[in-house]
A and B are shown apart, each in its own frame.
Chain A
Amino acid sequence: MRARPPFVRSRRMTIINGMLLLVIVLVSLQLWLLTATMNAWLAGDDSVEVPAAVVSLVCLGLNAGLLRYLTR
């Protein structure tokens, strides 16, 4: 049985550009979360830190998963 040929350059670039876009969106979401949480924390609101940290961790997990797919 023949091994599957690797993606040609144009397809690989499309895939990596799509991944890069997704990672940028997730990182932007994290940046927004951090600034919003910091604002709430400085105002004495302690109720949003934990949910925001969980969402941020999920974003990091997704990003790390995409990176793993890319580098394997």
Chain B
Amino acid sequence: MIDPISKGQIRPDSRTTPPDGRPHRLQPKWRKDFPIDTGQDEYVSRRELVKFMVLTSGAFAVGQFWLVVRSLMRRGEAQPPAAPVAEVGELPIGGAKTFHYPEGSPPRLLVRLGENRFVAYDQQCTHLLCPVVPAVKEGALHCPCHHGWFDIETGEPTAGPPRRALPRVLVETRGDQVWATGVEEPQT
């Protein structure tokens, strides 16, 4: 079939007269949004796509400011009050247990490294939130899902996909109990 535009029968900028006979600028919005002619229709569809992209741009800007607000909220957060999380005699050297600090938090992992040495971190891997398990002999915490490794002394990632350190829970021994005294977010 021969295209009537290329054949010269229809001019590319031709506009069909609307049924009511009024000029195009006086037509209702719905008729402007759904034009009869191919050329006008292409123009409207591009214009609508630009509108949609600007809406997406607005959503990204809102997300960016949401991060600013969350950041300000995080700065204003006080450390939770200290709380006992385990008995000293409860864990052998090299042993570990999970706890929640503060109440309702994601699970934390307490590991006994020596007679009076305890460390505690978030149990969730910073890669994809799989639970990490202690590998005390290797001096590491291991995420078995994707073979991520963290230094057990610092919580820093040492191998595998994780790029961020595990948040550290500050712990100290008071008498025969281990107390959590705060949470330390990793710094880059």
- Interface majority SS (helix, strand, loop, mixed), chain B: helix
Write out, one digit per residue, whether chain B residues 8-20 have a CB within 8 A of any chain A CB (1) or not (0): 0000110000000
**Closest Cβ–Cβ distance, residue A20 to chain B (whole Å):** 6
Q: Is there an interface contact between B13 and A8, defined as CB atoms closer than 8 Å?
A: yes
Task: State the total of A-B contacts with C-beta under 8 angstroms.
Answer: 105
Q: Is there an interface contact between A67 and B164, defined as CB atoms closer than 8 Å?
A: no
How big is the B interface, by class? 20 to 34
Chain A residues numbered 20-71 whose CB sits less than 8 Å from any CB in chain B: 20, 23-24, 26-27, 30-31, 33-34, 37-38, 40-46, 49-50, 52-53, 56-57, 59-60, 63-64, 66-67, 70-71
Residue B145 CB within 8 A of the other chain: no
**Closest Cβ–Cβ distance, residue B63 to chain A (whole Å):** 5
Report how far A67 CA is from B47 CA in the complex, Å: 8
Q: Is there an interface contact between B12 and A10, defined as CB atoms closer than 8 Å?
A: yes
Please give, as numbers and ranges, the residues of chain A lying within 8 Å of B13 by CB-CB distance. 8-9
Q: Which residue of A lies closest to B14 (CB)?
A: A9
Q: Is there an interface contact between B68 and A50, defined as CB atoms closer than 8 Å?
A: yes
Q: Is there an interface contact between A53 and B64, defined as CB atoms closer than 8 Å?
A: yes
Residue B130 CB within 8 A of the other chain: no
Chain A residues close to B by CB (< 8 Å):
8-10, 12-13, 16-17, 19-20, 23-24, 26-27, 30-31, 33-34, 37-38, 40-46, 49-50, 52-53, 56-57, 59-60, 63-64, 66-67, 70-71
The 10 closest A-B pairs by CB, nearest first: A30-B60, A56-B64, A44-B185, A53-B64, A60-B61, A9-B39, A63-B57, A45-B188, A43-B188, A16-B46
Chain B residues close to A by CB (< 8 Å):
12-13, 39, 42-43, 46-47, 49-51, 53-54, 56-58, 60-61, 63-65, 67-68, 70-71, 74-75, 126, 163-164, 185-188
